[in-house]
Amino acid sequence: MRPFLFLAAALAGSLGFLVGRAAEPTRFTSGPARVSLVELYTSEGCSSCPPAERWLGQLRDAPGLWRDFVPVVWHVDYWNRLGWPDRFSTREFTRRQYDTAAAWGTNSVYTPCFVRDGVEWRAREVPRPTAPRSAQVGTLTVAYDGATLRAEFVPGAAEARGGAACEVHAAILGGSIVSKVTSGENRGETLKHEFIALALKQGVPGRDLALAVPTVSGVPRHALAVWVTRRGSHVPIQATGGWLD
Asked, for residue 230, whether it belongs to a domain, the answer is yes
Residue 112 reports pLDDT greater than 90: yes
Asked, for residue 114, whether it belongs to a domain, the answer is yes
**Helix, strand, or coil here: 39?**
strand
By percentage, how much of the chain surpasses pLDDT 90?
79
State how many domains the chain has.
Answer: 1
Burial tier of 44 (Cβ tally within 10 Å: 0-12, 13-18, 19+): buried
Considering the entire predicted model, what is its pTM?
0.87
Give pLDDT tens digits for 6-56: 434 444 444 443 444 456 899 999 999 999 999 999 999 999 999 999 999
Alpha carbon distances (Å) from 126 to 49, 121, 168 = 18, 10, 29
Asked, for residue 94, whether it belongs to a domain, the answer is yes
Domain ranges, residue 63: 25-243
Asked, for residue 121, whether it belongs to a domain, the answer is yes
Asked, for residue 9, whether it belongs to a domain, the answer is no
Asked, for residue 46, whether it belongs to a domain, the answer is yes
- What pLDDT, on a 0 to 100 scale, did the predictor assign at position 10? 45
- What pLDDT, on a 0 to 100 scale, did the predictor assign at position 18? 41
- What pLDDT, on a 0 to 100 scale, did the predictor assign at position 52? 95
Asked, for residue 16, whether it belongs to a domain, the answer is no
Asked, for residue 13, whether it belongs to a domain, the answer is no
